[in-house]
Amino acid sequence: MNNQMPSTDDRPALITVNDLTLAFGPRVIQHDVSFQVKRGSIFAVMGGSGCGKSTLLKSMIGLLRPTGGTYKVEKDDYWAGDDASRIRIGRRFGVLFQSGALWSSMTVGENVALPMQMFTKLEAPVIRRLVELKLGLVGMLHAIDQYPSELSGGMRKRAGLARAMSLDPDILFFDEPSAGLDPITSARLDDLILNLRDGLGATIIIVSHELSSLFHIADDGIFLDAEQKTAIAHGSPTWLRDHCDDPMVHAFMHREQLDSSSSHGNG
Amino acid sequence: MNTSVNDAPQWHLQPEANRTLVTLSGDWIAQDGRVPDFPQSALKDIPPNEPVEFSTEHLGKWDTSLISFLWELMRDAREAHVELRIDTLPESAHKLLDLLPENPPQPPPPARHAFAPVAAVGQFTLDTLNEVGCVSEMGADAARGGIATALGRGMMRTVDLMSDLNAAGPAALLIVGVVNFLVGAILAFVGSVELHKFAADIYVASLVAIAMVREMSAVMTAIIMAGRTGGAYAARISTMQGNEEIDALQVFGIPVSNYLILPSVLALAFTMPLLYLYGCLIGMLGGFCVSYIMLHVSPLGYFHETLGALPLDQFTFGFIKSFVFGSFIGLTSCRIGLKAGRSAADVGIAATKAVVVGIVGVIALDAVFAVIANVIGI
């Protein structure tokens, strides 16, 4: 079956996941998931709702220990090390959570500044400048002194993105970045993600099922299936759309119902 | 991590024929803590109509600290009316700069808090009266809902009432018991010291009984419940507020007063008198233990003296008090939860406020009851 995009990319792998198995107690969410993320790529984790995309992301950012397999960032095995090594590797991560996850007792500006205050020796005016810059990049400079509760969902997400970039991480994880955003904001966010990759050389891992956005930005990815509980296809969203012949992936990429013969009739 | 030693970021301004060249070199990494400043005066000497271009041949690694520097440079250049050719920068840096707004907004002037004691007192009074009105209205709503439920037309689920009753009643028995036992014991201790001088040891029994039944049990139980259950109600309702759960109830047309507040208030109002009675008995037991061990009062004598000291209407009064305390705690803590903001910090504030208002309110109400009791002569 044609479900593996032929690799033409000779960039070194930044993240290597091997036979990762994720489970909550006895309930296996995904098993034997393997993939590589190349440095500087935008990697999409795709799949239907409830297939374990976010769970995979959780284990990659250190919130859920996998029950099997390895997860390496360059040479470092993330889950094999102790807490200190995980924190050290984790400093390279920036995470945009699904609904922003801003700290509600702080203003937007303080949210972005906190990691810099905690982890760098920068002086307050420099931090202020960098905070302004990061909020400026996501178009949120006007909200620097507002509290998260005063913001709309899309604004929270953009502020969350600015916070994820706070320490200039080289690996960014986005959980559903464009869910709940209007098309214009969503397109702007896509461009921003591309610019961040090109400008700062960040490697970006996106969990999403917004097809239009994925076709636009992602250059590699995997497709997780809820039934088989593992990755059933590897490749960029465009390649999966055009070449993958797995019925599940085909239906997903073309927004069809799985039983396509009946769905065409209903229009 | 950047464990390798990076070159210090540097910039250098150099006038050339028909243009000015800014040379950027070194590694511009924000986390290294070296973000150079750009003095605004540097652009003063550049003649107008001469563009400023960039040379980035010796530029090493860079991140947002370079963009931050360039952004500042752009602002200064605009003020000095100098043309900045940002297209001579690496394309990626150019793209990021394009995303940025031209001018950062001016922060709003800090709000002035003038010292106006009269206005503050007035505002406080109005707010308090408003709150009293709101709580009374909620109480009336809850009472109406209670009557409707009793007639079988209400919108309260029995399962909610049961779980609230369990949380406010049986689950609180241990802490109410421990506190009242100790209060009774303390009363007996204090009383025995004085009464022993008059060889009136046996009257410790009546002292403990009257103090527990008239005041201590009702007040102590109410204070415990204000901290335990009132705080929980406020936190729960304000969290629901933050998750838009209250909005969802309203949209469905499920009255918040019936569905949420009524079971909470009923649970407290019903369990509080029972807890009060339990607290009285445990308190007297505490008093008896101390008397028996320290003063060697006989069990039968203590029992007889206690019965003699307690007319039944003392209990009636205590029942009424604890019913009012329970309703008060339930209503105010629900009201505080409903009024809270929608963030995590607001949940904490609401819980704190519910406990403080509950405790202060219970003691204030108790004072009012004391006056009433004095007037009607109980």
* DSSP-derived 3-state class of residue B182: helix
CATH top-level class of B10-99: alpha beta
Residue type, A259: D
CA distance between the termini of chain B: 77
Asked if A47 and A21 touch (Cβ cutoff 8 Å), the reply is: no
Question: Please, where in chain B does CATH 3.30.750.24 lie?
Answer: 10-99
pLDDT digits (tens, 9 = 90+) for B202-235: 899 999 999 999 999 999 999 999 999 999 999 9
ipTM of the complex: 0.73
Would the CB atoms of A198 and B108 count as touching at under 8 Å? no
Q: What own/partner pairs with CB < 8 Å and gap ≥ 24 does A179-185 have?
A: A179/A98, A179/A208, A179/A210, A180/A153, A180/A154, A181/A153, A181/A154, A181/A157, A182/A154, A185/A154, A185/A158
Residue B146 has pLDDT above 70, yes or no: yes
Amino acid B344: pLDDT: 82
Distances (CA, A) of B150 to A214, B146, B153: 57, 6, 8
Using a pLDDT cut of 90, give the percent of chain A over it. Answer: 11
Task: Give the number of A-B residue pairs with CB atoms closer than 8 Å.
Answer: 89
A259 phi, psi to nearest 5 deg: -85, 85
Residue A254 and residue A241 in contact, taking contact as beta carbons nearer than 8 Å: yes
Q: Can you tell me the distance from the alpha carbon of A37 to that of A14, in angstroms, rounded to the nearest whole number?
A: 6
Question: Exposed/middle/buried for B273, CB within 10 Å: 0-12, 13-18, 19+?
Answer: buried
Residues A120, B101: C-beta atoms closer than 8 Å:
no
pLDDT at B11: 84
Q: Could you give the CA distance from residue B243 to residue B342 in angstroms, rounded to a whole number?
A: 8
Other Cβ atoms less than 10 A from the Cβ of B105: the count is: 12
How many residues does this entry show for chain A?
267
The whole-number pLDDT of residue A265 equals 36
**Residue found by looking up tokens 């009472």 in the block:** B143
Q: Is the pLDDT of residue B1 over 90?
A: no
Q: Angle CA(B65)–CA(B66)–CA(B67) in degrees, nearest 5?
A: 90
Distance CA B150, CA B143 (A): 10
Angle between helix B312-339 and helix B262-290 axes, rounded to 10 deg: 130
* Beta carbons of B211 and B307 less than 8 angstroms apart: no
CA distance B41 to B80: 9
Q: What is the C-alpha separation between B320 and B327, in angstroms, rounded?
A: 11
Residues B105-126, mean pLDDT to the nearest whole number: 80
Cβ of B71 within 8 Å of Cβ of A133? The answer is yes
Picking from A130-134, B89-93, B307-311, which range would have the lowest pLDDT averaged per residue?
A: B89-93
pLDDT of residue B235: 94
Q: Which of A110, A134, A137 to mutate to test the interface with B (most CBs of B within 10 A)?
A: A137
Domain boundaries, chain A: 10-92+170-176+202-254
User: CA-CA distance, A224 to B265, in Å (whole number)?
Assistant: 49
The DSSP annotation for B21-65 comes to EEEEEEEE-GGGT------GGGGTTSPTT--EEEE-TTEEEE-HH
Residues in chain B with CB shorter than 8 Å from the CB of A88 are 1
Question: Chain A contacts of B343, Cβ < 8 Å?
Answer: 104-105, 147-149
Compute the nearest-CA separation of A244 from chain B (Å): 33
Q: Cα distance from A30 to chain B (closest Cα, Å)?
A: 30
Among A residues 82-101, those touching chain B with beta carbons less than 8 Å apart: 88, 91-92
Quote the radius of gyration of chain B (alpha carbons, Å): 36
Q: What pLDDT does A4 receive? A: 79
Q: Which residues of B touch A119 (CB under 8 A)?
A: 31
pLDDT at A235 over 50: yes
Give the integer Cα–Cα distance in Å for B234 and B239.
8
C-alpha to C-alpha distance for A248 and A236, rounded to whole angstroms: 16
The shortest CB-CB distance from A136 to any of B1, B104, B343 is to B104
- pLDDT for A18 beyond 80: yes
- Residue B91, min C-alpha distance to chain A (Å): 8
The reply to whether residue B35 touches residue A130, judged by beta carbons under 8 angstroms, is: yes
The answer to whether residue A263 scores a pLDDT higher than 70 is no
Q: State the average pLDDT over residues B104-127.
A: 80
Q: Is the pLDDT of residue A262 over 50?
A: no
Yes or no: domain A10-92+170-176+202-254 corresponds to CATH 3.40.640.10: no
Give dist(CA B355, CA B225) in Å, integer.
9
Long-range interactions of B157-160: CB distance < 8 A, separation 24+? B157/B259, B157/B263, B160/B259, B160/B263
Give A162-214 pLDDT, tens digit per residue: 999 888 888 999 988 887 778 887 888 888 888 888 877 889 999 988 888 88
Q: Which of B91, B343, B346, B349 to mutate to test the interface with A (most CBs of A within 10 A)?
A: B343
Distances in whole angstroms, Cα of residue B252 to Cα of each of A69, B130, B338:
47, 28, 17
